Structure 1
Amino acid sequence: MSVFLRLRHEEYRLCHFFLSKNSYNRRIIYQLGDKNVLLRSQRRNFSLQSTIDSFAKTQTGIFKTLSESTPVEYCQKFLLNVHDVTGLPWWATIICTTMMLRSCITVPFAIYQNYILAKLEYVKIEMDDIAKELKKETAVAVKMYNWDEKTARISFKRSIRKQWTNLIARENCHPFKTTLLVFFQLPLWVSLSISLRNLVYMLPNQDFHAQLTFTELSVGGFGWIPNLVEVDSSLILPVCFGLLNLGIIELQTLSKVNVPTKLQKFLTNFFRGLSILMIPIASVVPSCVVLYWTTSSAFGFVQNLILVSPKIRRLCKIPQTPSELEQPYKHIITGIKYRFKYFSDKNS
């Protein structure tokens, strides 16, 4: 049974690494004062180490650029600092860091996105009334000035654009603001994923601290995944990751009362397929990365579930809209029951 003693960086100084005569045993030695302390002796499969060395030397192009980028560097340092300060095992460090960053970054932007969407809904309602008035005015102008159909259409479209711009400026709710969540959440997701990948492959520098972190990840797992460097051979995490993503898509679909457009139906089916496609991808990446993905998706599912509540929306200063459900959870449960009944009747 190997023993791992974790020491704070300020409490030790590196003495040396050495390999024993048995090439499968690696011992990590530190020096505390004049006393050598054996921290870890474990059997190591050097084919894995050679793979890591080869991977670090051969990575080029976009992967090298991403792994050495500034956002990834900051995320990697943040992960290491959380691990060192809290003293938590790596599985708990990944979960806590994910929840911390999503609470501080993505939740405020998600609330702001819902706020802008609510404002836009009111603007569109007002715009419908304005469009009716403009149609009447255009019809009058056609008779007064003998406009042809093309001139009338150009004038109408120009007036519509002007009125829409005025309403957007008045309410300060430009549609682009609804994409801010994606512009912050996606880079964060990529940066943390690459950061964990760097820790597994000891990048960008295979120094002592990188090897120490690799060793901690190797023993910092939980339950059926004791080694976070390896893949989850049980497929529990990859499947949970895919199901959570599907749950988020279905939750967003069931919480809407408006009939979806063809584009919305296409995007919904596209993301459903993407969620399923991510399962085999998640099954071949290190478990620490999949743990982050699964935790992030679980947080997103709960976040979406909470933000459909009218009480929470009023608490977050999100305006009430005509399309808002008074009893969203009851509506979602009814929708789920209807789908199960539909599929059961179809298969019977």
Structure 2
Amino acid sequence: MAAPLLLRTFRKPIIACTYKYTYQGATISNHTYNHRLASTEAAAASVQLANAGGLVGYWQTLSNSTPVAYMQDVLIKIHDYSGLPWWASIVLSTFLLRSVVTLPLTIYQHKITARIEQIALEMPAIVEELKKEAAMAKRKFKWSEQQTLIVYRRSIKKQWQNLIVRDNCHPMKTMIVLWGQIPLWIFQSVALRNLVYMLPDPTSIQAQIVTTEMTIGGFGWIPNLTVVDHSYILPVALGLINLAIIEVQAMSRTRPSTRLQNIANNVFRGLSVVMVPVACTVPSALCVYWVASSSFGLAQNLLILSPEVRRSVGIPKTQTELREPYDLLWLKIQQRLRLAERPPADKPAAK
């Protein structure tokens, strides 16, 4: 711990000293000259690592983008102010950012979904009324079956739109979590990669110090966060956690899955498996972030199943809400593992 603290202590003075020598035109000492030679070599090595990782074209533009720069600054500040080693700082920053960004969006998404389910209960009565009106209009205006059907369908669509506007629950809002979570995941991943490879400016003293701190800021079997996890523990854990998230979402549904949902589940299962070999080739700092982010997502999905939690955050009660979600999940897990007979039908919450 002494080395990172020492580097952090001298971070700003070193930068100031460098600018002083540069702008005043003073004679550069041998120590400073050797330091710059080392910086140049580090810069070349970092560029080679970046190019070897495919950081060209679009990815290079993303690496140099403003959101990634802000994310790098946030990660460094959280590390400096917390005083934690880099692995713990990455976990802390992940939990903080997801609590601020994705957790509120997830709660809002569940509110929208609950409102849509509630207004769907109003539609049968509206449909019956529209059928009567369509039959009366057909007799009065001598409409054909085709004309009556067209007017009837337009009326249903208009009434549905009115209900959506009334409760402010457009179905597109159910995708809001992806709009926040995917950019956050990309920006933080690229920012951590930049910190590992001293990008976008390998000659920066701060970049060199951060990378040096990461080389001794790991834990257990990965003391160096700038290298891959050769034990494959983190990559395998990442795949298992992502698969657990998908299965929890699938098993918590109270209605039979549609064909589209089954296809989506299979696609995400495939992506979870593909992420394992990808995680085996990236620095451990990225693996720590990915595992921490997925762990937060799994805990979030489990927590939001609780009726008590849903009421506390203002999610309306619905007919498809599970009364005892954790008991049901455990029963379904046992059934999949053939440790128990087929579980009873899901119990929707009482009205």
TM-score of the superposition, structure 2-length normalised?
Answer: 0.84
**Matching residue of 1:218:** 215
**Matching residue of 2:48:** 54
Quote the Cα distance in structure 2 between the aligned partners of 1:266 and 1:212. 46
**Matching residue of 2:112:** 116
Bigger strand fraction: 1
Does the 8 Å contact 2:215/2:226 carry over to 1?
yes
Does the 8 Å contact 2:46/2:199 carry over to 1?
no
1:290 aligns with 2:287: yes
Counterpart selection for 2:266 from 261, 264, 269: 269
- Give deviations 1:217-263, integer Å, cap 9, x for gaps: 11111001111111111111111111111111111111111111111
Does the 8 Å contact 2:216/2:225 carry over to 1?
yes
Bigger helix fraction: 2
**Matching residue of 1:147:** 143
- Give deviations 1:42-65, integer Å, cap 9, x for gaps: xx9x99975422245784321111
Deviation (angstroms), 1:8: 2.4
Deviation (angstroms), 1:10: 6.7
Q: What secondary structure does 1:290 align onto?
A: helix
**Matching residue of 1:7:** 8
**Greater displacement, 190-199 / 149-158:** 149-158
**Matching residue of 1:104:** 100
CA RMSD of aligned residues (A): 2.6
1:315 aligns with 2:312: yes
CA change 1:144–1:3 in 2 (3 A) is: closer
Quote the Cα distance in structure 2 between the aligned partners of 1:343 and 1:282. 35
**Matching residue of 1:299:** 296
Give runs of aligned pairs for residues 201-212 of structure 1, distance below 5 A.
201-206=197-202, 207-212=204-209
- Quick one: which amino acid aligns to residue 286 of structure 2? V
Does the 8 Å contact 2:43/2:198 carry over to 1?
no
CA change 1:342–1:333 in 2 (3 A) is: closer
- Give deviations 1:92-132, integer Å, cap 9, x for gaps: 11000000111111111111111111000011121233223
1:164 aligns with 2:167: no
Aligned residues: 317
Quote the Cα distance in structure 1 between the aligned partners of 2:128 and 2:267. 36
1:252 aligns with 2:255: no
Deviation (angstroms), 1:265: 1.0
Does the 8 Å contact 2:235/2:276 carry over to 1?
yes
The answer for unaligned runs of 5 or more in structure 2 is 19-30, 32-37, 343-351
Q: What secondary structure does 2:223 align onto?
A: coil
**Matching residue of 1:80:** 76
The answer for unaligned runs of 5 or more in structure 1 is 17-35, 37-43
Aligned-residue sequence identity (percent) comes to 45
Quote the Cα distance in structure 1 between the aligned partners of 2:219 and 2:332. 36
Quote the Cα distance in structure 1 between the aligned partners of 2:50 and 2:338. 52
Say which structure, 1 or 2, has more relative contact order (CA 8 Å, 6+ apart): 2
1:132 aligns with 2:133: no
Quote the Cα distance in structure 2 between the aligned partners of 1:56 and 1:334. 48
